[in-house]
Every structure is written in structure tokens, then in C-alpha cells.
């Protein structure tokens, strides 16, 4: 009996095997007699890499040009002209991809994922603006970045925001940067690309939702200078940091400041620092006390931040498609629910549920550690901006804030001093 | 005095920033010399859900049906060309599976027919791919047509694909077919 059974199962196996074979070759390729020649299977080559090279060369050219306009010619018109070029070329023609803002994610993915290496053009778009910023301030933001440029040309009726509101909103880019790094490092998603408000407009193919957001940003840009740059852009905060230590940042006056106050309100970004008189400086004792206090507050903020965010690591991980699928499968009941496309895809992939659950558990773990780091990072940023608020800095002249200033060159014409 | 010190600290930070930019760039660039990555659609994973037609950032989609002629049986009753249960095997639009009429059927010799995809019309919906896979040899397969694809930083279809069929690959692997190994180098 047993023998018969095993023989039978062998037969069944054979038939199944045969069926599987026949599946791929149900209808064997015919032998043609009429001398038919078969067309070649089309495999068109990718667009030539020359485009990427042109992009990088134009980026360098535009950066050099705008830097020359700002530093040597001190000309706002020049900045506007370069902005228009960037909007047309980097925006509409190259469809806003790849841009420096998004390249942050390629860099992070390449650093964390050994199997991926960053395209040289994306690397160039990440590094070149940083190098220019290190030498000349954020001239990239002034009019080469298509996102910044498109907001800037819409700025017609600038109003200034309350200082505290600017400070609070100014924390968002840091959180956004942290999230973008978390999602890129785990190979989950490129959120900066996904939620780029202007790329849909550059491509004329935005979904209604994204178009509405992009249009809203442009509408706000009419009154509030560069809302995306100041309160969202994750690359902007990196440029901000680099620009603070830049070698030759733009100076409002061509020679030396005479404290005439004419430029005081000329900056639409409120990036002009007023002089701080000596008598406002604090004495040594209170400075030490402040220092010690901050030394305790910042680590505390980091730990609290890490703890709070790590509590949400499962929610953060839900963006990951594998985790989402595992979760869906866990709650899937074939009797009452209709199979989603995702579950159908999983079923045909031949992967077992256990494999998927293991993978998703590994990703969850990455998110757990990642969210601790994200939280600590946010805590650190909060702490340091608190420290920045309490710090007095002696300053004689009206100066552009090297971090916040985007070198738009609007303030330059307000200065009555002649260059010598 | 105060100003000098500040200037000095600034210079230190500037060199630190410069060094880290150069360092990161150097590390990444040494790896990048191997060439760029391209998006690739793995037809062994694809379930022809139809999202390839709608999610791509270029319109019509950069994903096209590609005919692997070496696998084709040149059937009269093509599962990719005809709707299931057609009454007569003619080229009438009511018989066609393809919503845009992108498949051209030509008679070769009895009883064989050749099926060609007209790239300009194909929207990458995968209906024919599903039909050919179900009733035929599976010689119709979806692939990214790299002359049309703009190689987005993050492929918009990859995000939406329910079967996790998209990945970044080096140029040599930019085309991959299920059940057929191509020896053409691109
Ligand atoms: S802040 Fe960001 S979006 Fe604005 S100009 Fe600079 S890089 Fe572009
Ligand atoms: S150049 Fe800088 S400081 Fe002057 S107006 Fe523009 S952003 Fe403000
Ligand atoms: S989205 Fe994925 S499953 Fe759907 S047709 Fe495209 S490759 Fe196939
Ligand atoms: S059925 Fe869809 S995938 Fe096939 S040729 Fe027509 S449009 Fe292209
Ligand atoms: S990379 Fe972009 S253009 Fe290419 S298939 Fe994906 S979405 Fe379409």
C-alpha cells in the first residue's frame, strides 16, 4: 500500500513537473518555412549620460555667474536673470530632477546601503553648492536652486513675521531633515522627492493635491519670503550651517557701515542683524551660570526627544512598504476581506509569511534605533536654538545673518555708502 | 582681540566643514566610478496590476510591453491579443485586449501570426502581458523603456508597485526577461 502511494505521488510529482515545464513552453516556437526573419526584441538604451554632464556644467556656470553678480557687480538684476534661467532650465526643462535638495537622500542612502552607489551627477549636485557656500555664502539659494528661485520671483509684497514665529517655524526643516535621513537610510522612501511642492508644477503633471500645495506655497510666497526655503527645506539647513563659517559672505555695505539704518527693514527674510551695544553684554558670572544650565538642559532634551520619538517608531515604520504589507497580512482574513493588490502580489511571489515577518521585524528594529537618534537630534536642535536665543553677541554694524541670508541682493541698493 | 578670536574659531570651523565635505564626496565618488544605476522592473515579480500605466511621471508611461520574440509561439489565438472568448479571430477592435490597439498582428505563414508592439501607442497597462502569461508562453513582458524613462531619483512607480518589482540596477542589467536570457549588451 505504502509502495503504491509513493509510486503514485512520484507520478503526481512528475505530472506537476511536466506541467510546470509546459507552462513556459506551451506553444513551442515554430520552424518557419517562408524564410521569415524575426524582429529583434527592442531594448532601447538609456538617455545619454551627456545630459548629466551638461547639467553639472550649467550648475557650475550658473553658480559662478550669480556669485559674480552678487559679490562683484552687487546687482539684484543679475540675480533675477540667473533665477529666471534656473527656473526655465533646472525647473521646467530638466523637470526639477535631480535637484540638490533631493540629493541629500542619495548621499544618505549611499552611506548606509553598501549595494547602492550614488550617481556622480547627484553627488555633484550635493557637493558643488556646499563648496560655493563655504566660500561665498548661500549664493546657490539666491537664484540657482529652482525651488528657491521660483518662490523668490513671486515675492511682491513682503511682510515680516514675528521673531518668535520665525524661530519656531525654523525648527521644522531640522525635523524634516531628520525624517528624510531616517527614511533614506532605511531604504524606505525619498520623502523630499515625494513631497516636493514645486516639482509637479515644473512637470505639469501634479496630482490635484500636490498642485494645490504647490500653488499655496507660491501664493504665500507673494507675501512671506520663501516659505519653503525657510520653514521646510532640509538642504537649506545644511547650507545655513556651512554658510555661517563661509569665507567671503556678502556684506550689505560695499565699504564700511555708517549705521544709517537705511537697510534695517530691507530684508524680506528678516536676516539683517542689528548692532548690539556693548553695555547689553552680560557679565562673566551669569554667562558661566547660563553655560552650566544649558549643559544640563541639552542632554536632557536629547534623552526626552529620543524617548518620545522612539515611542512612535512603529508608526514611523508604517511608511515602509514591507512593514505595511506584513501588518496587512497579519490582520487579513480571507473570508471577510477582499484581497488587496499588495497581498495578491505577495501571494504570487512565493515568499513565505515567516520570511516577510522576519524582514519586517528587522526593519522595525532599524526604525527603533533610528527614531532614538532622530529624537535625540531634534532635542539637540531645540537645545541649541535655545542656547542661540540666550546668547549675546557683540556687533557694531548692520550685517546680514550669515546663516539665514540667502544672498538675494535686495538689501544692497539701500546702502548709501559708495564703494571705494 | 575679541574679533580676532572669533575669526580664528570661524576659520577652524571652516576647515572642518571643508574637510568633511571633501571626505564624504571622496568616499562616495570612489564607489560611483562604477557607473550609474537605473530602475528595472522584474517581470518575475510583476502581477500586472495596472499601476505601471498610471504612476509613471512621464505620460504615457515609460513602462512598455516588450515582445520577447524568441519565446513567442506565434499562435493564431493569441492570449495577449484577443479578449478571452472571442467569437472570431479577426483584427476588429471589439476583439482586442489592448485598450489602445497597440498590438499589430500580421500573418506570417499558416497557421502563424506575428505580434508587434507599437511603442507609441502602448501605455504599459499590462493587460496583454497578463493574457499572454495566462494563455500563452508569456513572451509579452513589461519593461521600462530606458529611452523614455527619465530615471527619476525615486521611481514613482516603484513606490506604488504592490509586488515590489522595481529595483535599482547597474546598466548591464537594465533589461531582464522572465524565462529568457538576453545576450545583447546594452
Ligand atoms: S533653502 Fe532650499 S529650496 Fe530654498 S533656495 Fe536654498 S536649497 Fe533651494
Ligand atoms: S541679501 Fe540677505 S540680508 Fe540682504 S535682503 Fe537678501 S536675504 Fe536679506
Ligand atoms: S506596478 Fe508592479 S505589479 Fe503593477 S504592473 Fe507595474 S511592475 Fe507589475
Ligand atoms: S495591452 Fe497595455 S501593455 Fe499591452 S500593448 Fe496594449 S497598452 Fe501596452
Ligand atoms: S523612473 Fe520615473 S520615468 Fe522611469 S519608469 Fe519610474 S516613474 Fe517612470
Nearest CB partner across the interface for B21, out of A45, A120, A127: A127
In angstroms, the CA A201 to CA A206 distance is 6
What confidence score (pLDDT) does residue B183 get? 59
| Cα(B141) to centroid(ligand 5), Å | 17
Ligand 1 and A210: CB distance under 6 A: no
How far off is chain A from B86, nearest CA to CA, in Å?
20
Distance in angstroms between the alpha carbons of the first and the last residue of chain B: 65
Q: Which three cell numbers stand for residue B159?
A: 513606490
Asked if residue A123 lies in contact with residue A107, where contact means CB atoms within 8 angstroms, the answer is yes
Q: How many beta-carbon pairs under 8 angstroms link A with B?
A: 181
Q: How many angstroms separate the CA atoms of A171 and A301, rounded?
A: 14
H or E element that contains B168: strand B166-170
In A320-339, the residues whose Cβ lies within 8 Å of chain B are 321-322
Residues of chain B positioned with their CB less than 8 A from the CB of A344 = 47, 49, 162
What is residue A342's predicted lDDT score, i.e. its pLDDT? 86
Average pLDDT, chain B: 88
Q: What is the ipTM score, two decimals? A: 0.81
Q: What is the pLDDT of residue A278?
A: 67
Segments of chain A with pLDDT less than 70: 1-25, 48, 278-282, 392, 420
CA of A344 to the centre of ligand 3 (A): 12
What confidence score (pLDDT) does residue B150 get?
Answer: 83
Spatial contact of A32 and B112, defined as CB atoms under 8 Å apart: yes
pLDDT at position B4 is 79
Q: Are strands A272-273 and B63-67 parallel, antiparallel or unpaired?
A: unpaired
- Could you tell me which residues come within 8 angstroms of residue A249 by beta carbon, excluding any fewer than 6 positions away? A136, A137, A243, A400, A402, A405, A407
Q: Which of B125, B161, B38, B40 is nearest to A322 (CA)?
A: B161
d(CA B64, CA B148): 10
Query: Which band of pLDDT confidence, cut at 50, 70 and 90, is reported for residue B42?
Result: very high
CA distance to partner chain B, nearest, from residue A159 (Å): 33
Burial B43-74 (b: 16+ CB within 10 A, else e): bebbbbbebbbbbbbbebbbbbbbbbbbbbbb
Question: Across the interface, which of B28, B66, B168 has its CB nearest the CB of A123?
Answer: B28
CB A264 within 8 A of CB A398: yes
Which chain A residues touch B72 with a CB distance below 8 Å?
A: 29
- In angstroms, what CA-CA distances link A376 with A178, B96, B159? 10, 59, 29
Distance in Å, alpha carbon of B145 to nearest chain A alpha carbon: 6
pLDDT at site B184: 57
- Residue A47, chain B, CB below 8 Å: the answer is yes
CA distance B146 to chain A (A): 4
Domains in chain B: how many in total? 1
| Mean pLDDT in residue range B62-81 | 91
Q: Is A42 on the interface with B (CB under 8 A)?
A: yes
Using a pLDDT cut of 90, give the percent of chain B over it: 44
What is the least distance, in Å, from the CA of B143 to any CA of chain A? 9
pLDDT at B2: 62
Nearest to B153 among A98, A247, A346 (CB): A98
Residue whose CA is at the smallest distance from ligand 2 atom 2: A405
Residues B79-108 pLDDT 10s: 899 988 887 788 788 888 999 999 999 988
Q: Work out the widest C-alpha separation in chain B, in whole angstroms.
A: 97
Ligand that lies nearest to the alpha carbon of residue B65, given by its number in the listed order: 4
Bridge partners of B37, per DSSP, are B170
Cell numbers linked to B29? 565618488
* Measured CA distances, A297 to A169, A301, A379 (Å): 21, 6, 10
pLDDT of B22 higher than 90: yes
B69 reaches A (C-beta below 8 A): yes
Which range of residues forms the domain containing residue B77?
Answer: 37-173
Q: Which residues in chain A are closer than 8 Å to B53, comparing Cβ atoms? A: none
pLDDT in tens, A87-139: 999 999 888 777 899 999 999 999 998 878 888 888 999 999 999 999 999 99
Cell numbers describing residue A204: 505639469
| Inside any domain, residue B6 | no
Sign of CA pseudo-dihedral B94, B97, B98, B101:
negative
Residues 155-174 of B with CB under 8 A from A: 159, 161-165, 168, 171, 174
Residue B19 lies in a domain: no
Measure Cα distances from A225 to A66, A267, B155 in Å: 19, 9, 31
Q: Which of B43, B77, B73 is nearest to B137 (CA)?
A: B73
Question: Tell me: the pLDDT tens digits for B151-185?
Answer: 888 888 998 899 889 998 888 888 989 887 765 55
Q: Is A351 on the interface with B (CB under 8 A)?
A: no
In this prediction, residues B52-71 reach a mean pLDDT of 90
Q: How far is CA B90 from CA A108, B76, B94, B119, in A?
A: 55, 10, 9, 22
B186/A contact by beta carbon, under 8 A: yes
| Arithmetic mean of pLDDT, B106-118 | 89
User: Per the CB < 8 Å rule, is A194 touching B159?
Assistant: yes
Nearest to A43 among B51, B152, B184 (CB): B184
Residue B24 inside a domain? The answer is no
Of all residues in chain A, the one with the smallest CA distance to B158 is A189
Q: Which helix (H) or strand (E) holds A272?
A: strand A272-273
Q: What are phi and psi of B105, to 5 degrees?
A: -105, 125
Window 215-274 of A: residues touching B by CB (8 A cutoff) are: 241-242, 244-247
A43 alpha carbon – ligand 1 mean position (Å): 38
Q: Tell me which residues of chain B, numbers 86 to 105, contact chain A at a CB-CB cutoff of 8 Å.
A: none
Q: Which residues line ligand 5 (CB under 6 A)?
A: B 39, 56-58, 62-63, 144, 149-152, 155-157
Contact B73 A43 (CB under 8 A): no
Residue B71 lies in a domain: yes
Amino acid at each position: 500500500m505504502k509502495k503504491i502511494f509513493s509510486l503514485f505521488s512520484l507520478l503526481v510529482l512528475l505530472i506537476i513537473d511536466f506541467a510546470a515545464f509546459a507552462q513556459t513552453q506551451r506553444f513551442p516556437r515554430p520552424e518557419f518555412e517562408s524564410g521569415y526573419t524575426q524582429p529583434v526584441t527592442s531594448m532601447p538604451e538609456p538617455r545619454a549620460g551627456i545630459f548629466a554632464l551638461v547639467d553639472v556644467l550649467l550648475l557650475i556656470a550658473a553658480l559662478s555667474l550669480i556669485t559674480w553678480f552678487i559679490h562683484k557687480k552687487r546687482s539684484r538684476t543679475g540675480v533675477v536673470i540667473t533665477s529666471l534661467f534656473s527656473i526655465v532650465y533646472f525647473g521646467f526643462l530638466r523637470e526639477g530632477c535631480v535637484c540638490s535638495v533631493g540629493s541629500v537622500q542619495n548621499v544618505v542612502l549611499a552611506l548606509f546601503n553598501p549595494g547602492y552607489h550614488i550617481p556622480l551627477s547627484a553627488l555633484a549636485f550635493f557637493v558643488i553648492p556646499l563648496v560655493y557656500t563655504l566660500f561665498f555664502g548661500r549664493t546657490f539659494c539666491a537664484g540657482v536652486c529652482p525651488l528657491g528661485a521660483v518662490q523668490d520671483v513671486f515675492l511682491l509684497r513682503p511682510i515680516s513675521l514675528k521673531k518668535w514665529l520665525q524661530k519656531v517655524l525654523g525648527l521644522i526643516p531640522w525635523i524634516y531633515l531628520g525624517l528624510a535621513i531616517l527614511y533614506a537610510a532605511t531604504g524606505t522612501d525619498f520623502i523630499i522627492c515625494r513631497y516636493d511642492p514645486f516639482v509637479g508644477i515644473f512637470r505639469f503633471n501634479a496630482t490635484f493635491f500636490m498642485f494645490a500645495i504647490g500653488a499655496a506655497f507660491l501664493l504665500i510666497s507673494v507675501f512671506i519670503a520663501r516659505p519653503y526655503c525657510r520653514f521646510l527645506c532640509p538642504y537649506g539647513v545644511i547650507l545655513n550651517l556651512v554658510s555661517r563659517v563661509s569665507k567671503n559672505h556678502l556684506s550689505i555695505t560695499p565699504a564700511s557701515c555708517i549705521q544709517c539704518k537705511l537697510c534695517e527693514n530691507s530684508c524680506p527674510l528678516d536676516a539683517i542683524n542689528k548692532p548690539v551695544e556693548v553695555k547689553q553684554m552680560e557679565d562673566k558670572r551669569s554667562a558661566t551660570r547660563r553655560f552650566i544650565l544649558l549643559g544640563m538642559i541639552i542632554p536632557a532634551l536629547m534623552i526626552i526627544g529620543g524617548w518620545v520619538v522612539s515611542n512612535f517608531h512603529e508608526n514611523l515604520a508604517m511608511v515602509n512598504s514591507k512593514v505595511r504589507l506584513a501588518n496587512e497580512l497579519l490582520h487579513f482574513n480571507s473570508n471577510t476581506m477582499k484581497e488587496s493588490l499588495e497581498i495578491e502580489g505577495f501571494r504570487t511571489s512565493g515568499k513565505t509569511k515567516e520570511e516577510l515577518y522576519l524582514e519586517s521585524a528587522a526593519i522595525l528594529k532599524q526604525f527603533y534605533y533610528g527614531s532614538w537618534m532622530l529624537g535625540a537630534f531634534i532635542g539637540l536642535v531645540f537645545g541649541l536654538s535655545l542656547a542661540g536665543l540666550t546668547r549675546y553677541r557683540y556687533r557694531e554694524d548692520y550685517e546680514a545673518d550669515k546663516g539665514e541670508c540667502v544672498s538675494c541682493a535686495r538689501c544692497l541698493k539701500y546702502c548709501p555708502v559708495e564703494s571705494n | 582681540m575679541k574679533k580676532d578670536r572669533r575669526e580664528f574659531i570661524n576659520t577652524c570651523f571652516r576647515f572642518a566643514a571643508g574637510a568633511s565635505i571633501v571626505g564624504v564626496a571622496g568616499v562616495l565618488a570612489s564607489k560611483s566610478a562604477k557607473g550609474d544605476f537605473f530602475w528595472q522592473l522584474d517581470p518575475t515579480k510583476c502581477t500586472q496590476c495596472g499601476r505601471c500605466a498610471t504612476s509613471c511621471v512621464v505620460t504615457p508611461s515609460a513602462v512598455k510591453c516588450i515582445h520577447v520574440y524568441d519565446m513567442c509561439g506565434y499562435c493564431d489565438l493569441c492570449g495577449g491579443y484577443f479578449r478571452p472568448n472571442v467569437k472570431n479571430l479577426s483584427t476588429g477592435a471589439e476583439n482586442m485586449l489592448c485598450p489602445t490597439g497597440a498590438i499589430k498582428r500580421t500573418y506570417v505563414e499558416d497557421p502563424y501570426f506575428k505580434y508587434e508592439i507599437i511603442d507609441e501607442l502602448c501605455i504599459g497597462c499590462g493587460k496583454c502581458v497578463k493574457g499572454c502569461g495566462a494563455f500563452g508562453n508569456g513572451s509579452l513582458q513589461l519593461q521600462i523603456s530606458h529611452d523614455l524613462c527619465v530615471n527619476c531619483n525615486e521611481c514613482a512607480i516603484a513606490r506604488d508597485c504592490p509586488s515590489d518589482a522595481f529595483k535599482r540596477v547597474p546598466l548591464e542589467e537594465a533589461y531582464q526577461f522572465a524565462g529568457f536570457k538576453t545576450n545583447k549588451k546594452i
